[in-house]
A and B are shown apart, each in its own frame.
Chain A
Amino acid sequence: MATFWDIFHLLTETPIFFVAIIGLTWGIMGGALPGISASITMALVLPFTYAMDPAQAIALLACVYIGAEYGGSIPAILIRTPGTNSSAATVIDGYEMNRQGRAGEALGISLMSGVVGSLFGLAMLILLTEPLSWLALAFTPASYFGLGILGLSVIASMSGGSLIKGLCAATVGLMISTVGTDPISGVTRFTFDVPDLIGGIEPVLVMVGLFALTELMSQSGSVGMARLNASIRIKLPSWQMMNKLKRSQFIGCILGLFEGLTPGGGGSIAAFMSYNEARRWSKTPQLFGKGSEEGVAAPETANNTVASTAMIPLLSFGIPSSNSTAVLLGGLLMHGLIPGPRLFEQSAQVIDSIYVGSFIAIIAQIGVGIVILPACIWLVNRPRHYRAGFIFALILSGIYTLNNSLFDLGIALGLGVVGFFMRLARFPVLPMILGVVLGHMVESSYRRSLVLSGGDLRVFLEDPIAVALLSLALIFIVFSLAREIRDARKAKLKEAHS
C-alpha cells in the first residue's frame, strides 16, 4: 500500500494531476457521445499512451474509464439517449426529471451519486483487492447463468403495470440476442447471409433505437421542451437531499461492488438491479418512473462503483470483466506489466498512480461537471426545430462509429419504428433492453454448464454461487409478483369506489 510519501512524490514530481484531469475530461466527452462507449473512448486514447511513462499511462486509462462511465448519464438525462450501456437505467427517471424542467437537479444528483459510487469503489479497490479477488476465480458457467437470471428477474418489476406485456418485450429482446453466431457451435443464426449480422446486434443499437429515436419521433411537430429562458444552473443536491438519497446510493454501492467483482457482470446489470432495489426499499416507490431523485441516484452510484471495482479482478488476476477493462488490460500488457499479485510488488508505482489518479479524477469530476453541464443544458433547451436535427445527426454519427457500418444505422432506425409502435401499444421497452443485454450471457453460460456436466441439470444446484444467485432471483420475482397483484387489487378497489 502507498505511504504518504509515495503519494506526495506522485503529486509533486509527476504530472499525475494533469493526467487525471485530461483523462477524466476525455472520458466524460466520449461517454457523453452516443455510440462511443467507455471502451471505445479508452481505445482511442490507447495509442497516445505508448510513449508515456507506464504509471502515467495506466492512470490515464483508468481516469478515462471513470469519466466515461459518468459521462454516459449526461445524454441519458438530457436527450433520452444512454451514452453508454450502463446508463440505460438512468434514462427512466433522469429524462422524466428533465421533462419536468429539473435537468439541472437530475444532472447534479447523477454527478454527486457518481462521485459517491466512485469513491466507494476506489476505497474497495484499495482496501479489499486481495480478500475480494477470490470471487472472480470462483465464477463458473453455472454462476454466470445465475447472474444472468438474477438480472432478468428485474423484468417483473419493470413491466410498467402489465406483466404479460413486459414478458413479451423481454422475449423479443432475447430473440434479438440470438441473432449472430451461436456461442457453442459457431453456426450462424438469423443472419440471412448478411455479414453485418454475424457478430449479432449490439445492445447500444437497441437502446438508441428504442429510447432516443422513438423520443425524437414522438416529439416531431410538437413545440417540445424548448425552454429558452430555462435555468442552466446545475443544482447539486443539498445535505437534506443527500440524506434522502443515502439508501439508494448504498444499494448502488453494494450492487456495484458485487457486479464489478464478477467478470461479465458489468455496469448495466448493476444499474438496473440497483434501480429495482432502490424502488423496492424506497419510501416513495410510486414516484419511480415519474422523475424520482432516487431513481437517478441508484443506477448512477452503481455504474460508477463498477468503474472502480471492475479493476479488482483485472489487477489481481488479469481477468477483464468488461470491454473497458479489456482495453485497460491491453494498456498494461503494452507497457510490459503483467496483472497479478506480483504487479503489486514489482510495479507498486503503477498501482499507486491508479489509486491517486482515480482519486483526483473523482474529486475533479465535480468541478468539470459544474463547468460543462450548464452548456449541455443550454444546448438541449434550444428551439426544437434546430435541436432535433442536431440530436438526430449526433445519434446517427455515433452509431456509425461503432462498426463503420451503414447497416447498423438501418437497424437503429428500424428499432426506432418498433419503439414507436411499442409506445403506442403501451409496451415497456426496458424488459426488451434487458433481454438483449443479458440474452447472450444466459444462453452461453447455461449451455456451457450443461456441456461441462454432461447434460446434468444438477450442476446449477451444486454450485454455491449459482444457488445463491438463483435463489435471490426467485425471491425478487416472488416479491415483484406479490407487489403487482397488490397494486392490481388496489386499483380494482379504487375503481369500484369511484
Chain B
Amino acid sequence: MNKDILSGVVLLAIAGIYYTWSTRIADSTLSDEIGADGLPKMLAILLGVLAVCLIGRTVLAMGLRAAAATATKAETEEEEDDNAPLPRALGFLAFGAAYVFLLPFVGYIVATALLIGTIAIYEGAPRRSWIVLAAAIGGGLFYWAIFVKLLGVNQPMGSIFQGLF
C-alpha cells in the first residue's frame, strides 16, 4: 500500500480512537460552555478530515498520473536508504526500553554502563574489547558524577544494592 494512504488510514484510526476517548471525559460543574471535551472533539474531527484529504489526494494523484507513482516509488526507495532498516532501528530503541526496566533494580551506574556497553557492541564495536568495557564503566561513573554528584539529581541506586548503602 502507498505510504500516504497507509498514513491516512492510521491517522483516521487515531482520530476515531481519540474521539471515542474524548466522549469519556468527565463533566464538571466548574466547566465553561466549551467544556473539557470541546477542543479534543474538534481536533479529532479535524484530524479525521485531514486524513481523508490525504487519502483522497493520494488516490487522485495515483489515478491521474501513473508516472508520478513511479517517481514516488523511486523517491521512497531513495529515502529508505537514508534510514536504518526498521528492525534494526527498533532494536536500538529496545535497549532503551531494557534500560528503563533495569534502572530501578540495578541502579543508575550499572544500568548506564550496561546501556553504553551493549549499544557499542550493537553498533559494531568488537565484542571482547577492553575499550568497550572501559567506555561502559567510565561512562556510567562519568554520568553519575555529573547528574548525581554535581547536579544533585536523585537517580535510582538500585533495589538490589539497597542493603549495601
Contact = CB atoms under 8 A, between A and B. Distances in A.
Interface of A: 30, 33, 36, 44, 164-165, 167-168, 171-172, 174-175, 178, 182, 184-190, 213, 216-222, 383-386, 388-390, 392-394, 396-397, 400-401, 404, 406, 409-410, 413, 416-417, 420, 423-427, 443, 446-447, 450-451, 455
B66 interface: no
A386 B135 contact: yes
Contacts of A165: 7, 54
B53 interface: yes
- Kindly list the 10 A-B residue pairs having the minimum CB-CB distance in the complex, ordered from nearest: A389-B119, A385-B123, A389-B116, A182-B36, A185-B28, A217-B89, A385-B125, A185-B31, A220-B92, A220-B84
A221 B125 CA distance: 11
Contacts, number: 197
Interface string B11-44: 1001000100110011110111111111110011
B88 A220 contact: yes
B32 A451 contact: yes
A178 B43 contact: yes
Nearest to B48: A171
B145 to A, nearest CB: 12
A409 B112 CA distance: 14
10 contacts: A168-B7, A171-B43, A187-B25, A187-B28, A189-B22, A218-B89, A385-B123, A386-B135, A409-B100, A446-B34
A175 B40 contact: yes
Interface residues of B, number: 78
A164 B54 contact: yes
Given A174-B43, A397-B155, A413 B115 contact: no
Contacts of B32: 184-185, 447, 450-451
A36 B151 contact: yes
B112 A397 contact: yes
A221 B26 contact: no
Contacts of B152: 44
Given A386-B125, A389-B117, A397-B147, A185 B21 contact: no
Contacts of B117: 389
B63 interface: no
Contact of B112 (A184, A185, A393): A393
Interface in B92-148: 92-93, 95-97, 99-100, 103-104, 108, 112, 115-125, 131, 135-136, 139, 143, 146-147
Given A425-B7, A450-B34, A221 B104 contact: no
A416 B89 CA distance: 10
Contacts of B103: 400, 406, 409
A149 to B, nearest CB: 14
Given A384-B123, A392-B96, A218 B82 contact: yes
Nearest to B33: A455
A187 B26 contact: yes
A401 B25 CA distance: 31
Given A184-B32, A386-B125, A168 B50 contact: yes
A218 B84 contact: yes
